[in-house]
Amino acid sequence: MYRYWCMSSELRRVDLVTFLEVVEAGSVQAAARRHGISRTTIQRRLDRLRSALDAPPLFESRPGRKRLLLSAEGHEVARRARVLVDHWARSAVSLRDAVAGPRRVRVGTLAGSFDLLADVVADAWTGPEAVGLAVVELPEDRLLSALAAGEVDVAFGTRRAETPAGLRFYGLGSLGWAAIVPAASADAFADPLGVEDLADTPLVVLSAGPARARIDAWFAGAAGGPLVPTYAFEAGSTPRLVEMVGRGFGVGLVTRFRLAFLSDAVAVRCLRSEPAPLVAGYYVRSGAALPAHVRRWVGRVRQRFLTLAAAEGGPQNA
């Protein structure tokens, strides 16, 4: 027989989400580490949830066990909380879609990667096919979660090893690689460069993301055996990476698409072998059909990509 609780205070979504995070992680401490929240904050939210539900303890503690066990009431709260949180997420997406309007497109792009879109975004504001755009640059770890939450309609980036549930990826083309070196000391670097040439050279790399993963794997899989690179500067975006190479912090590895946007402070060197190519493209929510005028705009983005690819002799159709 179910017990019905009377809410003695406001029930908050953040408290339900935190409760589910603790359930998944197995303990308050593990949830705090995983989500970067203090244990004090988590405990306060759990206490507030229990107070809002006027519920008995949601977890059972047993001697010798580090992992928390749900009480019978905790199991019921977890079951219903998952439904509520999922419903909230889907409703929030629908609300954002409705408010955005039929001709307004919310575009998410990786920080530092807007160069690909800049021209077609400017063109999108004029002419009979004018499209209202709202563009936001997002870090790697926020791009797809923003799309899933309905904060953006289209997310431009590179293909992940696994496409998150509820999203679909459409490729624009593959991205080959080149090295960039400080122009002031360019004569000191061979052309082309090999992976072994770069093993003992200070490098400027991105701090995270698919590009960094490809570079790490390239050194680890070198033909002569694994190499340990020297990362002198870890940048948060590709433009910052290019800037720091130009200022003499080291050699950078960039996709050949980036070569169209370099400053005079750096020089280009080819590579004898390359990291595995990235695949550029865009993500949309599964089942969320883009309007015809948005699809035409995305087509212009694709054409822009292919034009840059032909100019640099690098990316190929994906």
Residue 283's DSSP bridge partners are 155, 169
Residue 4 has pLDDT above 80, yes or no: no
Collapsing DSSP to helix, strand or coil, 33 comes out as helix
Average pLDDT over residues 230-248: 94
Question: Where in the chain do CATH 3.40.190.10 domains reside?
Answer: 101-174+279-312, 177-276
Residue 315 has pLDDT above 50, yes or no: no
Average pLDDT over residues 28-44: 91
Of 232 and 316, the one with more pLDDT? 232
State residue 86's pLDDT score: 78
Using an 8 Å Cβ cutoff, are 269 and 178 in contact? yes
List own/partner pairs for 40-49 with CB under 8 A and 24 or more apart: 42/18, 45/12, 45/14, 45/15, 45/18, 45/19, 46/15, 46/18, 46/19, 46/22, 48/9, 48/12, 48/15, 49/11, 49/12, 49/15, 49/16, 49/18, 49/19, 49/77
Cα torsion through 167, 172, 174, 176, rounded to 10: -120
Tell me the C-alpha distance between 242 and 19, whole Å.
Answer: 43
Q: What is the pLDDT of residues 80-100, one digit of tens each?
A: 888 888 778 767 766 666 665
Tell me the C-alpha distance between 127 and 216, whole Å.
Answer: 45
Q: What is the pLDDT of residues 182-215, one digit of tens each?
A: 999 999 999 999 999 999 899 999 998 889 999 9
Pick the CATH number of 13-91 from 3.40.50.20, 1.25.50.20, 3.30.420.280, 1.10.10.10: 1.10.10.10
**Stretch among 58-72, 74-88, 104-118, 184-198 having the lowest mean pLDDT:** 104-118
**What fold does the segment set 101-174+279-312 form as a domain?**
D-Maltodextrin-Binding Protein; domain 2 (3.40.190)
Query: Taking all residues of the chain, what is their mean pLDDT, rounded to a whole number?
Result: 83
Q: CATH second-level architecture of 177-276?
A: 3-Layer(aba) Sandwich (3.40)
Residue 268 has pLDDT above 50, yes or no: yes
Residue 316 has pLDDT above 80, yes or no: no
- Token couple for 98: 């409705």
Tell me the C-alpha distance between 213 and 194, whole Å.
Answer: 18
Average pLDDT over residues 166-170: 92
Question: Where in the chain do CATH 1.10.10.10 domains reside?
Answer: 13-91
Residue 35 has pLDDT above 50, yes or no: yes
Q: Which amino acid is at 33?
A: R
State residue 247's pLDDT score: 96
For the entire predicted model, the pTM comes to: 0.63
**Stretch among 170-184, 234-248, 284-298 having the lowest mean pLDDT:** 284-298
State residue 183's pLDDT score: 97
Give the residue among 200, 261, 252 at the shortest CA–CA distance from 228.
Answer: 200
Tell me the C-alpha distance between 217 and 229, whole Å.
Answer: 11
Q: What is the pLDDT of residues 287-302, one digit of tens each?
A: 777 777 778 778 888 8
Residue 234 has pLDDT above 60, yes or no: yes
Residue 2 has pLDDT above 50, yes or no: no
Q: What secondary structure letter does DSSP report for 157?
A: E
